[in-house]
């Protein structure tokens, strides 16, 4: 079967359900390829298999709901939960991963949840760790919603727009076109990450400048 025909035969409901489930479970704290699922679905929307609005919507819902469940689990389980997970899954929840994520929360507070949506390590830790550190839920929810909307909506829109602009070229090459589309999707996601990293660096620089102003100068 031609690759285009195979892609177009996939039921839209299955795509929406899979994207929402993968992103939701990843946000809850299970290491799954949420970003890959989102980019793939966005590329399928270029072919008309699914709606880009639908992809963005289920991804946003999955991110927000998953993070909120993770927050509740972390609040009940506390840090002992991470120590237990670290012993069972050292590659994903080891002491070094936890220490890195915790430092991020200590530096940025609720913004760690927002920026964590664009960073694989923090995307897994954000919800449970925010709960374990007893972050007020209203702060968590604001950062969670903003991060989910910008990450899922922005990535879907970017991949869809880029894919549409080169669709006539891609349609001529079957498997080569699919490979090129995946490269384009990955590049689009990378651009989103770069923008988030720049925003984070600016936020951190502003905090450092504010701290230096507040620090009294010795005579």
**pLDDT tens digits for range 4-22:** 454 556 788 988 999 999 9
**From CA 210, how far away is CA 86, in angstroms rounded?**
36
Residue pLDDT, tens place only, 101-124: 777 777 777 888 888 788 766 777
Residue scoring higher pLDDT (149 or 162): 149
Residue scoring higher pLDDT (57 or 97): 57
pLDDT of residue 143: 92
Q: How far is CA 213 from CA 106, 203, 217, in A?
A: 20, 16, 9
CB atoms near residue 102 (< 10 Å): 17
pLDDT of residue 3: 42
Residue spans per domain, the chain: 3-214
Residue pLDDT, tens place only, 71-98: 998 888 777 776 776 666 666 566 666 7
User: For tokens 């970017």, what's the residue?
Assistant: 158
């Amino acid at each position: 079967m031609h690759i285009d025909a195979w892609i177009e035969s996939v039921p839209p409901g299955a795509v929406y359900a899979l994207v929402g489930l993968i992103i939701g479970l990843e946000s809850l704290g299970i290491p799954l390829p949420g970003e890959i699922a989102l980019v793939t679905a966005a590329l399928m929307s270029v072919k008309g298999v699914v709606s880009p609005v639908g992809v963005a919507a289920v991804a946003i819902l999955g991110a927000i709901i998953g993070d909120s469940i993770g927050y509740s689990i972390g609040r009940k389980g506390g840090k002992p939960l991470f120590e237990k997970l670290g012993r069972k899954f050292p590659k994903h929840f080891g002491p070094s991963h936890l220490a890195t994520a915790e430092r991020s929360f200590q530096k940025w507070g609720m913004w760690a949840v927002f920026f964590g949506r664009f960073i694989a390590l923090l995307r897994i830790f954000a919800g449970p760790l925010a709960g374990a550190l007893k972050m007020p839920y209203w702060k968590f929810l604001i950062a969670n919603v903003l991060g989910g909307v910008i990450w899922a909506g922005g990535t879907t829109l970017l991949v869809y727009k880029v894919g549409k602009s080169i669709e006539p070229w891609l349609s001529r090459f079957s498997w080569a076109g699919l490979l090129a589309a995946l490269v384009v999707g990955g590049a689009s996601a990378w651009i989103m990450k770069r923008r988030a990293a720049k925003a984070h660096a600016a936020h951190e620089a502003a905090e450092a400048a504010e701290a230096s102003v507040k620090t009294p100068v010795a005579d």
